[in-house]
A and B are shown apart, each in its own frame.
Chain A
Amino acid sequence: AQSVTQLGSHVSVSEGALVLLRCNYSSSVPPYLFWYVQYPNQGLQLLLKYTTGATLVKGINGFEAEFKKSETSFHLTKPSAHMSDAAEYFCAVSEPIYNFNKFYFGSGTKLNVKP
């Protein structure tokens, strides 16, 4: 089975500062990679995804992530944090075995944005 590691359960940044949320995965096959965001008392919303092709992917709200196969990483970044970015972020990996996707989630990183 896949495993997903998110380094840092809580990250705090100042408004306008760089956001960097780390995600590493284990996989024996080419994975699909995802970042989801969860606002309080809400479901998970897709931020961005990597399936094939360009390794730098752009998502909603100015976020982007880069797939680095050699490092088995898919870190999420945003150049300038906004107060509205405060939420919990989940990295996920899917295992496209045959035609079924099982999704494996990291334990999440709560992002706090200070004024």
Chain B
Amino acid sequence: NAGVTQTPKFRILKIGQSMTLQCTQDMNHNYMYWYRQDPGMGLKLIYYSVGAGITDKGEVPNGYNVSRSTTEDFPLRLELAAPSQTSVYFCASSRPGQGHTEAFFGQGTRLTVV
């Protein structure tokens, strides 16, 4: 029972490079989310998706892009990495209305931009 799986767990990027953070879930959840966690700031929503083909911006979307071609996968793309994007990134999923009111989280991706 894998739940929400994120890869990679750690990554160091140089300024200006790009990368994709992968997220997949095997719980058939409609809703998926990307958060970033900075010390003392809690979690901030970057993007979310309510189903395949549907995505929308959260609180801090600048510098990121997402896609949702399948129910299972929700990759987060960083273009032109900047030091301000150094953070821990969490993917989560939920399925409201089916008894699962909470979000289920992956283990996180720790990204450093140098």
**Stretch of A12-20, A41-49, A65-73, A76-84 at the chain-chain interface:** A41-49
- Answer whether residue B94 sits at the interface, using C-beta atoms and an 8 A cutoff: yes
CB of A32 within 8 A of CB of B42, answer: no
CB of B42 within 8 A of CB of A100, answer: no
- Chain B residue nearest to A43 in the complex (CB): B105
Contact with B along A77-96 (1 / 0, CB 8 A): 00000000000001010101
- Chain A residue nearest to B58 in the complex (CB): A102
CB of A102 within 8 A of CB of B48, answer: yes
Chain B residue numbers with a CB within 8 Å of A32 are 101
Chain B residue numbers with a CB within 8 Å of A28 are none
- Answer whether residue A74 sits at the interface, using C-beta atoms and an 8 A cutoff: no
Number of interface residues of A (CB under 8 A): 26
Q: How far is the CB of A97 from chain B (nearest CB, A)?
A: 10
Query: How far does the alpha carbon of A51 sit from the alpha carbon of B97 in the complex, in Å?
Result: 12
Chain A residue numbers with a CB within 8 Å of B104 are 46
Q: How far is the CB of A84 from chain B (nearest CB, A)?
A: 19
CB of B101 within 8 A of CB of A94, answer: yes
Chain A residue numbers with a CB within 8 Å of B42 are 4, 90, 105-108
Residues of chain B touching chain A, judged by Cβ–Cβ distance below 8 Å, are: 4, 31, 33, 35, 40-45, 48, 50, 90, 92, 94, 96-97, 101-108, 110
26 example contacts (A-B, Cβ-Cβ < 8 A) are as follows A9-B40, A41-B108, A41-B110, A43-B90, A43-B106, A43-B107, A44-B43, A90-B42, A90-B43, A92-B103, A99-B96, A99-B97, A101-B31, A101-B94, A101-B101, A102-B45, A102-B48, A103-B33, A103-B92, A105-B35, A105-B42, A105-B44, A106-B42, A107-B42, A108-B40, A108-B42
